[in-house]
Amino acid sequence: MRPFAYARADSAESAVRALSEAGPGVKVLAGGTTLYDLMKLDIEAPTSVVDVHRVPELSYIDTSGDELVFGAGARMADMAEDPVVRNEYPMLSESLWRAASEQLRIMATAGGNLLQRTRCAYFRGGEPYACNKRNPGSGCAAIGGADRGNALFGISDSCAAVYPGDWPIALIALDTEVDILGPDGERTIPLAELHREPGDRPEVETTLRPDELILRIRVRKTPAGRGSAYVKVRDRESYAFALASAAVAVAVEPTGVVTDARIGIGGVATRPWRVPAAEQALIGQPLTPESMRHAGEVAYQGARPGTHNVFKVELGIRVVADALRIAGERAAR
Ligand SMILES: Cc1cc2nc3c(=O)[nH]c(=O)nc-3n(C[C@H](O)[C@H](O)[C@H](O)COP(=O)(O)OP(=O)(O)OC[C@H]3O[C@@H](n4cnc5c(N)ncnc54)[C@H](O)[C@@H]3O)c2cc1C
């Protein structure tokens, strides 16, 4: 790890001031569960960090209004266990507790979770692997290489690295906004505008500037939350990233017809990926094995597999159908 300067902020405003003063080599430090890893691997080499882990105004969860509000410093474990989140938005709770390990979830924060970086082996493997994300212009050894983990959606000729997070897959399926503080004040963006597809600049992963701080994440409440589920398939049942996942929420009439559907898919795209066409395919239909399978097939239309990740298409379709089955049972209770 390279030497770096450390500053601890006691408020969001002082953090942004410190970020601006430090210049472009600065990084926000929250739980450190992924930033420190990447620094040890020499993939991240900030000249300074601004520690926001103990900023009280960032560390809260408020579910009392018409939105679920997660301060950027809220811990994954606390969000997963929050009674409103657990009972009324099981997809959010499940996506959190199926991620990482309890020790990590106690340290890791909402803001850091959104901004975690790909687990692509070529990105994390360092030299001698070509990786446009780690070393812009060097090429992509994953494309045409050992591509079992590669993304199927949002890929470019420069990069096919999967966005690895679970919770943001559930967030993207709901109407989620992110409040950001910068030197010029606060701004709000839809979560869908936070992460970038790689295009020809895979190293630029978000629309966040180095001197900006995520303040909070807000999810508009919806009755579909109760009929929701997060299904994650991975190589082992715990402590592993998704091969394919689906976050779904449905509202169903007493007749059994779907009136609202939200679907996000994970482990298969370069950023959190919502599939509106699959949602539309369900609305007005009853939830049957055929309609759930069809929604999965629509979700995976346009997938661009390589050589060793073709299996993710059928797997992903089944994961969507399975999540819909569980969500449908919950919606009917
Ligand atoms: C072994 C292991 C297994 C894991 N498994 C999973 C898994 O299965 N599923 C999953 O989803 N995740 C998994 N994770 C990732 C884990 O969820 C992240 O490490 C964690 O959420 C990051 O949060 P943090 O607070 O520690 O972030 P940090 O490491 O402190 O920061 C991460 C990034 O976010 C930036 N950042 C943090 N807060 C802010 C803010 N408020 N504003 C602006 N920028 C900010 C930092 O600058 C940094 O770039 C795993 C991690 C490990 C180490």
191-229 pLDDT, tens digit each: 999 999 999 999 999 999 999 999 999 999 999 999 999
> 30: which 2 tokens?
């929250």
Nearest atom, ligand 1, residue 30 CA: 30
Nearest atom, ligand 1, residue 28 CA: 47
Alpha carbon nearest to ligand 1 atom 17, residue: 113
Q: Is the CB of 31 under 6 A from ligand 1?
A: yes
CA distances from 313 to 75, 152, 318 (A): 33, 8, 9
Nearest atom, ligand 1, residue 36 CA: 29
- Mutate which of 8, 103, 116 for ligand 1 pocket (most atoms within 8 A of beta carbon): 116
What mean pLDDT is predicted for residues 272-299? 98
pLDDT at 333: 87
- Mutate which of 115, 195, 206 for ligand 1 pocket (most atoms within 8 A of beta carbon): 115
Q: Looking at domain 57-115+163-220, which of 3.40.50.980, 3.30.465.10, 2.60.40.1080, 2.30.40.10 is its CATH number?
A: 3.30.465.10
Q: Is the pLDDT of residue 1 over 90?
A: no
* Domain 223-332 superfamily per CATH: CO dehydrogenase flavoprotein, C-terminal domain (3.30.390.50)
Alpha carbon nearest to ligand 1 atom 41, residue: 214
Give the chain's mean pLDDT.
Answer: 97
CA dist 13 and 27 (Å) reads 15
Residue among 78, 76, 116 nearest 96 (CA)? 76
Ligand 1 centroid–CA 249 distance in Å is 25
What mean pLDDT is predicted for residues 3-17? 97
pLDDT at 47: 97
- Mutate which of 35, 92, 172 for ligand 1 pocket (most atoms within 8 A of beta carbon): 35
Q: What percent of the chain has pLDDT over 70?
A: 100
Alpha carbon nearest to ligand 1 atom 34, residue: 112
CA dist 89 and 176 (Å) reads 13
Report pLDDT digits (tens) over 46-89. 999 999 999 999 999 999 999 999 999 999 999 999 999 999 99
Q: What percent of the chain has pLDDT over 90?
A: 97
User: Would you list the domain boundaries of the chain?
Assistant: 5-54, 57-115+163-220, 223-332
Report pLDDT digits (tens) over 223-263. 999 999 999 999 998 889 999 999 999 999 999 999 999 99
Q: Is the CB of 166 under 6 A from ligand 1?
A: yes
Alpha carbon nearest to ligand 1 atom 31, residue: 112
pLDDT at 269: 98
* Higher per-residue pLDDT: 239 or 278: 278
CATH 3.30.43.10 holds for 5-54: yes
pLDDT at 237: 86
pLDDT at 66: 96
pLDDT level of residue 128 (50, 70, 90 thresholds)? confident
CA dist 23 and 81 (Å) reads 37
Alpha carbon nearest to ligand 1 atom 35, residue: 112
> 228: which 2 tokens?
């929701």
pLDDT at 23: 87
Q: Is the pLDDT of residue 127 over 90?
A: no
pLDDT level of residue 42 (50, 70, 90 thresholds)? very high
Nearest atom, ligand 1, residue 107 CA: 26
Residue among 203, 120, 209, 202 nearest 154 (CA)? 202
Nearest atom, ligand 1, residue 44 CA: 49
Q: Is the CB of 99 under 6 A from ligand 1?
A: yes
